Amino acid sequence: MMTLLKSAKIIDQSSPFHNKTVDILIENGIIKEISPSISSSENYKEYNFENLHVSQGWFDSSVCFGEPGFEERETISNGLKTAAKSGFTAVAVNPKTNPVVDNKSAVEYILNKACGSATKIYPIGSLTKNSEGKDIAELFDMQNSGAVAFGDYNKALNNANLLKICLQYAQNFNALVLSYPQDNSIAGLGIVNEEVNSTKLGLKGIPTLAEEMQIARDLFLLEYTGGKLHIPTISTAKSVKLIKEAKQKGLDVTCSVTAHHLTLTDDELKSFDTNTKVLPPLRTSKDIKALIKGVENGTIDMITSDHNPIDIEHKKVEYSNAKNGTIGLESLFGATNTVLATETIVNALTTNAKNRFNIKQTPVNIGEQADLTLFNPEGENLFLKENIFSTSKNAIYLNKPTKGTVYGVIANNKIEL
């Protein structure tokens, strides 16, 4: 079947049609024609969306699906459908599973379960066996089986020498190493940002120092070893400064920030809503300003949802006992679109992120495979429960204002709209 998108404004700096409003004709998953007007034929499936914008498919560098082991939270199948409806044609999935993805069989299992979806899955292998931070996992074998990077999700590597060895070893096959930024000896038993609100509410705090010390340590190690380092989900103003200085030195380092850290402060804690319990914790307006500036000037390379489904049994409990995590695929664009320019968001979800994780670029151009995200950047909305496609409903953005609408994706020779 031929698919015709009418009056689509293309947002893709790698495309010769960037910022032009055109019709796009797709046949068997390939873009056949792009022109100001294409006449519809009887066998064309035509789509007319309000204020339609099209970019190359978005990529989220940090999502969790429960399968295997936590299928009650999210299966791979439903997770990929959620990603597609949220505008993502590719996701990197963390090894937060049971068993942990620390060997090639586990990588191959995830890839096989994802066959036939509009959204492609890219497994992140565990950096250490069982994500315990003691011994290096089978990195080379996992990369040969399809893993795109290696890290222990939301677990800091306390052993500096082990990270040094990982960075040295990974260079032999040009692998990307992820290091979660938290010094556990400083964070202690903290559960929220250490600031005025934590004191007022009687909640144990995690100082920004915990993140910044770990980043400083990791950057020193990277300077010593060489290699490729990615620091996921930074959250403080000083973290942005440290990474900017490292890049100016020529170190091969990238970082990401979550949509909720770009838009929400620790004032959210006053509700004691356990959906606000995330790691790293929500910080202050000063941090938000620095993070937004970091995305705008390229210090922060990519935006992520850090999508982390948690079942109700582990969220509808006392705040101190609740598990960390929020779902975020469905709300990422609408949330970030309230504080960033649309083109900035698209760049942070496409070119920058894909390059780092070695994922093929697919510009919106004639002859290219259709790997498209369809959206409308205008319009004020509230993020409601009916906007959630995930099995788990632990959404930090529930009942909060968003801007814009995601229509879905055309990718992998499939349509999810």
Catalytic residue chosen out of the listed positions 183, 301, 306, 371: 306
Span 392-414, pLDDT tens digits: 999 999 999 999 999 999 999 99
For residue 29, pLDDT over 80 is answered with: yes
What does the alpha-carbon distance between residue 271 and residue 261 come to, in Å, rounded to a whole number? 17
Q: CA torsion 124→130→131→134, rounded to 10°?
A: -130
User: What is the rounded average pLDDT of the residues 13-17?
Assistant: 96
- Predicted pLDDT at 341: 98
At a CB cut-off of 8 Å and minimum separation 6, what does 19 contact? Answer: 9, 10, 11
Task: Scan for tokens 């306390």, then name that residue.
Answer: 158
For residue 218, pLDDT over 80 is answered with: yes
Q: Is 38 helix (H, G, I), strand (E, B) or coil?
A: coil
User: What is the rounded average pLDDT of the residues 230-245?
Assistant: 98
Residue 42 binned pLDDT confidence (cut-offs 50, 70, 90): confident
- Predicted pLDDT at 57: 98
Dmax (CA) of the chain? 66
Mean pLDDT of the chain: 97
Residues 339 and 399 sit within 8 Å (Cβ to Cβ): no
For residue 43, pLDDT over 90 is answered with: no
Domains along the chain? 2-53+366-380+404-416 (2.30.40.10), 57-356 (3.20.20.140)
Residue 135 a catalytic site member: no
- Predicted pLDDT at 40: 83
For residue 252, pLDDT over 90 is answered with: yes
**Percent of the chain at pLDDT above 90?**
98
β-strands 414-416, 401-411: how paired? antiparallel
Find, among 235, 327, 204, 338, the residue nearest to 276 by Cα: 327
Find, among 415, 110, 412, 149, the residue nearest to 256 by Cα: 149
413 backbone dihedrals φ, ψ, rounded to 5°: 60, 30
For residue 1, pLDDT over 90 is answered with: no
Residue 224 binned pLDDT confidence (cut-offs 50, 70, 90): very high
Residue 41 binned pLDDT confidence (cut-offs 50, 70, 90): confident
What does the alpha-carbon distance between residue 95 and residue 93 come to, in Å, rounded to a whole number? 7
Output b/e per residue, 280-319; b: 16+ Cβ within 10 A: bbbbbeebbebbbebbeeebbbbbbbbbbbbbeebbeeeb
Find, among 267, 296, 295, the residue nearest to 283 by Cα: 267
